[in-house]
Structure 1
Amino acid sequence: MTKRVARMSSFSCREVEMNQNREKWIARRAYELWEQAGQPEGQEHEHWSRASAEWDARPSPSEPERPSWDDEE
């Protein structure tokens, strides 16, 4: 039972860390988008949503990298 709890808690810690990395990345990217847009007021949600979508579109580390059409000869 103790080993199972230890595995579950380490898994949860990894999940928390991955989520924190995601949130930090999205926050930085949303800030970049806000700056690029001229620092408008009242558009925080749009910048956050766009940054979140960009994160979600990235391939996961477990997935093989998607081939680029430019790589074809």
Structure 2
Amino acid sequence: MNLSRQVLGMVGLMIGFGLYALAGRLAAPWNSVLVGAVFAALGISTVVYGRGERWIQALGGVLLLYGLVRIFVLHR
């Protein structure tokens, strides 16, 4: 059992939920841009973390792509 990995996962969840709550307080389009930036950062970190695991890197690519689309296309 890798305790540090579980702790990092919980800290990451807290940071993610905190940023999502903060984004809800911002005016449009900044709320959508912030959420898109979080998805893009998550995608980049997933690609870096998933070295050697193609499906994890593919998931990271999808997250990165969604984040960029949300920043540049889906903002209102």
Give the alignment's TM-score, normalised by structure 1: 0.40
Higher Cα Rg: structure 1 or 2?
1
Structure ranking higher in helix proportion: 2
Give the alignment's TM-score, normalised by structure 2: 0.38
Higher RCO by CA contacts (8 Å cutoff, separation 6 or greater): 2
